[in-house]
Amino acid sequence: MEILLQQIINGLVLGSMYALVALGYTMVYGIINLINFAHGEVLMVGALTSWAIIVQMQEAMPGVPGWIILLVAMIISCVVAAALNFVIEKVAYRPLRNSPKLAPLITAIGMSILLQTLAMIIFKPNYKPYPTLLPAAPIQFGGAVITPTQIMILGLTAVSLAVLMYLVNYTKLGRAMRATAENPRVAALMGVRPDMVISATFIIGAVLATIAGIMYASNYGTVQHTMGFLPGLKAFTAAVFGGIGNLAGAVVGGILLGLIESIGSGYIGVLTGGVLGSHYSDIFAFIVLIIMLTLRPSGLLGERVADRA
Amino acid sequence: MKTTRTGWIAFGAALVLLPLLLQYMGNFWVRIADVALLYVLLALGLNIVVGFAGLLDLGFVAFFAIGAYMYGLMASPHLSETFAWFARLFPTGLHTSIWLVVPLGAFIAGVLGILLGAPTLKLRGDYLAIVTLGFGEIIRVFLNNLDHPVNITNGPKGLNQIDSIRILGLNLGRPLEIGDYTLSAVTLYYYFFLILVVLSVVICHRLELSRIGRAWMAIREDEIAAKAMGINTRNMKLMAFGMGATFGGVSGAMFAAFQGFVSPESFSLMESVMIVAMVVLGGIGHLPGVILGAVLLSAMPEVLRWVSGVFDLQRLTDGRLDASILRQLLIALAMIIVMLLRPRGLWPTPEHGKSLPTPAGK
C-alpha cells in the first residue's frame, strides 16, 4: 500500500510536469496545426538558464535564502525562454504558414537539433548538478515520503494552471486565442490579429515549459543539453492522449500519463515476477497511447471531428 | 531524346567509376558512399509511405532495426553462444545465405509494417505520426532490454561478429584481387548496394506509375475523394506501410552485414527523424529529389567531419566545437534554411501537392 501511495505522489509530480509542457504543444497545435518539435528544447533552455543564474547568484550572494534565488532564476529564465520561443516562431515557423504541412515540421526538427547543439556548445556536454534550494528533509505521511521540492512542484503547477485558465477564459487575449483556434480567418475578420495571438501563444508556452524544466531539474537534480528530449516526447504524447488542441485534455493527459508511468514502473517488476524491470517505464506512455488512439482516435477529451489533421 | 540518353549513360558510368576514384583517396571515402547508398534505400522506402501515400511515419527506423537484428541473429555466433540447444543444432553458428536473408528480412519487416499499420488506419496526419513514433520507441526499448531474462538481443551491448555478405562465392567482406588490381571490401559493397538501389528505383518508379501508385497519390491528395472514387483506402494504406517497411527491412539487413555490428543506438528516434528529413528536404514523393536528399544528408556530415579534422577545429575553438558538433549544427541550419527557401524541397515533383489545403484554413 505504501508503494502505491508513493508511486501516486511520484506520478502526480511527474504528471504535472508533463501537463505544463503538454499545454504548450496543445495550444500551438490548436492554433496553427503545427507539432512544435522544438518545445522540449525550450524546456531545456529554460532549465539550463536557471541553473546558470542559480550558480552565479549562490556565488555572488551567499546569504540570500534559497527560495528567493529560485524565484529570481525562474523569472529571468522564463523571460529568456519566452524571448527565444518568440524568435523561433518568427524566424522558422511564420514564413512557412502557407507552405505544405511537412515543411514547418522539418524546420521545427531542425530548430530542436540547433538548440540542443548550441546549448551543448555554450554549456558543455557534461551533466551538471542542479542545486537544491529548498530544505531537503522529506515529509513523512501515511508511509509515503514527499519532499519540499515535490510540494513546490505540485503547488506551482496548480498556480500556473489557475493563471492560464483565467487568461484563456476571462481575458481579451484568451478570447482572441480561442477565436483563432476556432477559425483564424473569421477571427481576423472580427478584428483579432492572428500573428499577435500566435506570438502570445508561443510566449505563454515557453513560460510553462520553463517552469516545468525547473521542476524537472529540481526533482532529478541534474541538467544537461539533452534533457528536453524525453519530457518533450512524453508531453506531446500526453497532449495527443488528452486530445490535441484541447487545454483541459493536455492537463488530464499529462497527469494520467505521469500516474500510469510511475505506477506501471513501480509494479511491473512485481507483476511479472521480476522478469521485466522498471527500465521498461518509457514504453508505458506509448503503449497506453496506441491502445487509446485505436479506441478513440481523437484522444480522451478531443472533439470527434472527422477531418482534423 | 538523344542527349538525355547520353546523359544517363554518362551518369551511370560516373556512378560505376566513382568508388574506383574514391578508393585512391582512401577507403574512408568509399565507406561514405556506401552509407549514402544505404540511406537512399531507406529514404526510397519511407518515400512510399510518406511521399506516395501521404502517411507521416515517424517510426520508420523500427523496420530498419528489425531487418538489422534479424540478420544479426542469423549470421552471428550470438545465438549459439547464448543457448546450449542452439549450439547443439548449429555448432558453428547459423551462417545464413543472403538468398534467404533478403527475402526473409523483406517479408518479416513487411508483415510487421502491416501489423503496425493496421491499428493506425483510422488515424490521420499528426496522430498517425505520434503513434508510429511510439511504435519505433517501443521497439527500441525492447531491443535495449531483451538481454534478460533471456538474452536475445544482447541489450545495449549489441550483436557483433556478424558475417559479411557472401554472394555467388564472393565474400564482400574481403578485398577482391583481379590480376594486379585490388578492389577493396567497401568498393565491393558499393557495387552491391548500387545494384540494390537501382533495383529499388525501378521498383519505386513502376509502383508510382501503376494502378496502386495512382491510388496512393489519390489518397494523399484527398482521402475522402479517393474513397468516393471506389479506392479501397484501407488496403492501399496497409500496402504502403508493408512495402515501405520491406525496403526498411532489407536495408537493415544490409546495414548489419556492412557494419558487422548492430546495437540499439543506431535505431533512435533521431534516425527516423533524419530519414523523414531526407525525404522532405529532397522533394517529397519525387524519386530524384528523395535520392538527392538522402545523399546530401548522409554524406554531408561525413564530409564535414573530414573538413573539421583538417582544420583542427577542436584546438581552434578550445574544445567546444568538434567535428560531430559542427556537423549537427550545420545539418540543423541546412534543414531550416532549405525549408525556408524551398518549402517543397530541393527538387520537388511538378504535380505533388497541387490540391494540398493551405494550413491557414482548417
| CB-CB contact of B165 with B172 (8 Å) | yes
Residue A272 lies inside a defined structural domain of this protein: no
pLDDT at A284: 81
Between B156 and B351, name the one with better pLDDT: B156
Residue B200 lies inside a defined structural domain of this protein: yes
- Band of residue B205 on the pLDDT scale cut at 50, 70, 90: very high
The range of the structural domain enclosing residue A96 comes to: 30-240
Least confident segment among A263-277, B1-15, B152-166, B223-237: A263-277
- Band of residue B361 on the pLDDT scale cut at 50, 70, 90: very low
A43 interfaces chain B, CB cutoff of 8 Å = no
- Band of residue B39 on the pLDDT scale cut at 50, 70, 90: very high
A117 interfaces chain B, CB cutoff of 8 Å = yes
pLDDT at B319: 65
Residue B99 lies inside a defined structural domain of this protein: yes
Q: At what angle do helices B98-117 and B61-74 cross, to 10 degrees?
A: 140
A106 to B335: CB separation less than 8 angstroms, yes or no: yes
B325 to A113: CB separation less than 8 angstroms, yes or no: no
What would the pLDDT profile of B66-104 be if each residue is shown by its tens digit? 999 998 888 887 777 777 777 777 766 667 777 888 888
Between B127 and A191, name the one with better pLDDT: A191
What's the gap in Å between the CA of A1 and the closest CA on chain B? 28
A33 interfaces chain B, CB cutoff of 8 Å = yes
- Band of residue B3 on the pLDDT scale cut at 50, 70, 90: low
A260 interfaces chain B, CB cutoff of 8 Å = no
Please say if the pLDDT value at position A275 is more than 70.
no
Report the DSSP pairing between strands A139-141 and A144-146. Answer: antiparallel
Instruction: Kindly state the average pLDDT of the residues A246-262.
Output: 91
Please say if the pLDDT value at position A111 is more than 80.
yes
pLDDT at A1: 63
B343 to A103: CB separation less than 8 angstroms, yes or no: yes
What would the pLDDT profile of B257-272 be if each residue is shown by its tens digit? 898 899 998 888 888 8
A162 interfaces chain B, CB cutoff of 8 Å = no
Facing residue for A286 by CB, picked from B50, B138, B336:
B138
Residue A140 lies inside a defined structural domain of this protein: yes
Please say if the pLDDT value at position A306 is more than 50.
no
With a cut of 0.90, is the ipTM above it?
no
Residue B239 lies inside a defined structural domain of this protein: yes
- Band of residue B318 on the pLDDT scale cut at 50, 70, 90: low
pLDDT at B343: 85
* Mutation for testing the B interface, residue in A113, A276, A303 having most B CBs under 10 Å: A113
Residue B219 lies inside a defined structural domain of this protein: yes
- Measure the CA angle with vertex B306, ends B304 and B307; round to 5°: 65
Q: Which amino acid is at A4?
A: L
Least confident segment among A11-15, B220-224, B232-236: B220-224
Average pLDDT over chain B, rounded to whole?
83
- Band of residue A127 on the pLDDT scale cut at 50, 70, 90: very high
Residue A126 lies inside a defined structural domain of this protein: yes
A29 to B273: CB separation less than 8 angstroms, yes or no: no
Q: Which amino acid is at B281?
A: L
Residue A75 lies inside a defined structural domain of this protein: yes
| Contact residues, chain A, for B332 at CB < 8 Å | 110-114, 117
The range of the structural domain enclosing residue B260 comes to: 11-268
Instruction: Kindly state the average pLDDT of the residues B339-343.
Output: 89
Kindly identify which residue of chain A lies nearest to residue B272, measuring between CA atoms. Answer: A109
- Band of residue A308 on the pLDDT scale cut at 50, 70, 90: very low
Interface of A with B in 197-226 (CB under 8 A): none
Tell me how far apart the alpha carbons of residues A295 and A290 are, in angstroms, rounded to a whole number.
Answer: 9
Residue B293 lies inside a defined structural domain of this protein: no
A102 to B124: CB separation less than 8 angstroms, yes or no: no
| Contact residues, chain B, for A184 at CB < 8 Å | 360-362
Structural domain count, chain B: 1
Facing residue for B360 by CB, picked from A104, A184, A233:
A184
Average pLDDT over chain A, rounded to whole?
88
pLDDT at B91: 66
Please say if the pLDDT value at position A307 is more than 60.
no
B135 to A286: CB separation less than 8 angstroms, yes or no: yes
Facing residue for A113 by CB, picked from B149, B280, B331:
B331
Rounded to two decimals, what is the model's pTM? 0.85
Burial class (CB in 10 A: 0-12, 13-18, 19+), A276: middle
Please say if the pLDDT value at position B249 is more than 50.
yes
Distances (CA, A) of A21 to A160, A235, A281, B163: 12, 6, 19, 46
Facing residue for A280 by CB, picked from B124, B145, B332:
B145
Kindly identify which residue of chain B lies nearest to residue A181, measuring between CA atoms. Answer: B362
| CB-CB contact of A23 with A54 (8 Å) | no
What would the pLDDT profile of A50-97 be if each residue is shown by its tens digit? 999 999 998 888 888 888 899 999 999 999 999 999 999 999 999 998
DSSP structural state of residue B347? S
| Contact residues, chain B, for A287 at CB < 8 Å | 134, 138
Facing residue for A32 by CB, picked from B134, B329, B359:
B359
Alpha helices of chain B — where are they, by DSSP H? 2-25, 27-46, 61-74, 78-82, 84-89, 98-117, 125-145, 185-209, 211-221, 223-228, 233-259, 269-283, 287-310, 313-316, 323-341
What would the pLDDT profile of A160-183 be if each residue is shown by its tens digit? 999 999 999 999 999 999 999 888
| Contact residues, chain A, for B362 at CB < 8 Å | 33, 183-184
pLDDT at A168: 92
B360 to A289: CB separation less than 8 angstroms, yes or no: no
Between A288 and A206, name the one with better pLDDT: A206
Residue B321 lies inside a defined structural domain of this protein: no
Least confident segment among A135-139, A235-239, A243-247, B276-280: A135-139
A309 to B125: CB separation less than 8 angstroms, yes or no: yes
Facing residue for B137 by CB, picked from A118, A283, A309:
A283
Structural domain count, chain A: 1
Residue B310 lies inside a defined structural domain of this protein: no
A100 to B130: CB separation less than 8 angstroms, yes or no: no
Please say if the pLDDT value at position A309 is more than 80.
no
